[in-house]
Structure 1
Amino acid sequence: MNERTIFLLDGVGAALSFILSGLILPYFSDALGLSKELIYSLAGIPAICMIFSFRCYGFIKPIKSWMLLTIILANLAYSLISGSLIVFHDGLSDVGKYLLLAEILVVMGVMILEIRVLQKLRTFPRKSL
């Protein structure tokens, strides 16, 4: 996977997360044990990631390593916020915990791919003597 397609993957994943968090999950807020406001707040991070990733995928040439590092850190922040809800939010239902945990695992999988692409991007070919 190259640096351009990783941004497409991240953008699509962020779009799905935004649709889930911003449009679908608020209807199930009681079952999740999360307020609608909190769910809408969570949707903000994938919305920003979606815009950034699609912009990098479609318009930025060449991709710089700081761009990939930015999206990795944003995904990490989203995972940490979601994880802190699992640990510290008293009213969170089991369904809410499993949903957040599943999303964290998916985001971490994407982050692993992003880190691999970042490592390739930062590796420069060496000339043999």
Structure 2
Amino acid sequence: MKLNQKNIFLLDGIGAVFSSTSTGLILPQFFEWIGLSAMTLRLLGLIGFVFAVYSLTCFSLVKNPKPSMLLTIVFANFLYCVLVLSIALLSSELSTLGKAYFFGEVAIIAGLIFLETRVYRNSFGLRRKKLESL
């Protein structure tokens, strides 16, 4: 699949569905092993769910996404990473398993932010190169 200003939202939305499902529905069942309360995990899952709804709506309902739509999800993903890193670094109760999960999630989202930023630059402005290089 060639990434462009439309289908990057599909990639983001699918990732957010997986993230929100694992963080909000699966991990709360094992909160003792993670070291965070089930409520905190569900709240993180809810944030991911909101991101999924936004991205999948942009993909399915908007024919030509505007630059601000992509920047919105880039910024939201960045803030989510900051939140998760803050929890991972500041929570004394978070287990090694919990830290591994959240550092892994941040790494994946950081990679997605990189791709989204690249699509933004190629599609909307700073560099108008062909997207085949992605």
Give, as a single letter, the amino acid of the residue that structure 1 aligns with 2:117.
Answer: I
- 2:90 corresponds in structure 1 to 88
- 1:114 corresponds in structure 2 to 116
SS in structure 1 at match of 2:6: helix
* TM-score normalised by length of structure 1: 0.93
Matched residue pairs, number? 125
CA distance in 1, matches of 2:35, 2:112: 27
SS in structure 2 at match of 1:2: coil
* Structure 1 counterpart of 2:63, from 51, 61, 64: 61
Give, as a single letter, the amino acid of the residue that structure 2 aligns with 1:44.
Answer: L
CA distance in 1, matches of 2:54, 2:33: 32
- 1:33 corresponds in structure 2 to 35
User: Residue 120 of structure 1: CA displacement?
Assistant: 1.4
Q: What residue ranges of structure 1 are gaps of 5+ in the alignment?
A: none
* Deviation by residue 1:81-119 (Cα, 9 ceiling, x = unmatched): 110011111100000000000000000011100000110
RMSD (Å), alpha carbons: 1.1
SS in structure 2 at match of 1:63: coil
SS in structure 2 at match of 1:3: coil
Q: What residue ranges of structure 2 are gaps of 5+ in the alignment?
A: 129-134
Task: State which structure, 1 or 2, has the greater radius of gyration over its C-alpha atoms.
Answer: 1
CA distance in 2, matches of 1:40, 1:46: 10
* Structure 2 counterpart of 1:104, from 103, 106, 127: 106
* TM-score normalised by length of structure 2: 0.90
Sequence identity (%): 35
- 2:132 corresponds in structure 1 to none
